[in-house]
């Protein structure tokens, strides 16, 4: 698994460094994701024979989160690049773009779902740090968890925005994107303005997107 992670990481960096400008960049993105998913399937088969109930038990929480993060973050980087710099590509690949957004949201929201949020009273390890406990109660165990919320929220925003802009029918994933986007952006904003307020994080963009989604929800 580590070899696959290392190799695909190098490939991801090359794509990102070139701003996904090559004509086959999407195919290469999909190939990286397939490599990660095949490795996960292989681990799943092994863990079943070893008596583990879930893949997470066999992989460990950090590695399970890493796999979801790598897939979600790669899709986010690709979509963010196309959304900001390649209007022609968007016009020619509308359905593909929306499908990538849906997949990205699925992977990114899976990151903080791997572990169960810690509730007050369940542990005494962090009893001396109120800020840390507040983060753990929100399911934020690391910077990756916080970023996954922001990225997922932005992808939800794009999903809602472009479905409306292109006047395309909204499936279940699109319908869920509006409340889900509000939820994850709100969680991120509360964390940044609360326990992370002195850690150099910024939530201006998150608040802007969340407020826009809230206005749409009222319509």
- Structural domain spans, the chain: 2-218
- The whole-angstrom separation of Cα 122 and Cα 197 is 25
Helices (H), 18-93: 25-49, 55-59, 61-85, 87-92
CB within 8 A of 8, min separation 6: which ones?
32, 35, 36, 70
pLDDT of residue 125 exceeding 70, the answer is no
pLDDT of residue 188 exceeding 90, the answer is yes
- The whole-angstrom separation of Cα 65 and Cα 145 is 9
Residues found in the chain: 219
The DSSP output letter for 115 is S
Sorting pLDDT into bands at 50, 70 and 90, what band is 123? low
Distance of alpha carbon 29 from the chain centroid: 15
Q: What is the mean pLDDT of the chain?
A: 90
4-13, 122-131, 172-181: the lowest-pLDDT one = 122-131
- The whole-angstrom separation of Cα 101 and Cα 95 is 10
CB within 8 A of 90, min separation 6: which ones?
82, 83, 97, 162
- The whole-angstrom separation of Cα 162 and Cα 93 is 12
26-30, 85-89, 98-102, 215-219: the lowest-pLDDT one = 215-219
Helix (H, G, I), strand (E, B) or coil at 168: coil
Tokens of 211: 């407020």
Mean of pLDDT values over 197-211: 95
Give me the sign of the Cα torsion angle 39, 45, 47, 49: negative
Cβ distance 120 to 177 under 8 Å? no
Q: How far is the CA of 118 from the CAs of 21, 137, 141, 180, in angstroms?
A: 42, 5, 10, 21
The proportion of the chain whose per-residue pLDDT surpasses 90, expressed as a percent, equals 67
Q: What is the pLDDT of residue 124?
A: 52
| 142-165: pLDDT as tens digits | 999 999 999 999 999 999 999 999
Cβ distance 66 to 5 under 8 Å? yes
- The whole-angstrom separation of Cα 36 and Cα 151 is 20
């Amino acid at each position: 698994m580590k070899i696959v992670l290392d190799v695909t990481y190098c490939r991801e960096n090359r794509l990102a460094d070139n701003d996904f400008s090559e004509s086959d960049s999407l195919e290469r993105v999909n190939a990286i994701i397939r490599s990660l998913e095949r490795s996960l399937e292989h681990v799943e088969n092994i863990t079943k024979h070893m008596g583990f109930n879930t893949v997470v038990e066999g992989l460990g929480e950090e590695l399970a989160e890493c796999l979801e993060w790598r897939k979600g973050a790669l899709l986010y980087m690709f979509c963010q690049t196309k959304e900001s710099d390649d209007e022609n590509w968007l016009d020619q690949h509308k359905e593909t773009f929306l499908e990538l957004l849906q997949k990205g949201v699925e992977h990114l929201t899976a990151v903080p779902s791997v572990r169960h949020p810690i509730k007050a009273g369940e542990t005494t390890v962090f009893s001396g740090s109120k800020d840390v406990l507040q983060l753990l109660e929100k399911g934020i165990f690391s910077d990756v968890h916080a970023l996954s919320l922001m990225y997922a929220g932005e992808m939800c925003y794009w999903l809602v925005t472009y479905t409306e802009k292109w006047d395309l029918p909204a499936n279940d994933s699109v319908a869920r994107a509006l409340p889900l986007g509000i939820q994850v952006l709100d969680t991120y904003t509360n964390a940044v303005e609360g326990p992370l307020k002195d850690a150099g994080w910024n939530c201006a963009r998150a608040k802007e997107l969340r407020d826009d989604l809230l206005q749409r929800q009222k319509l």
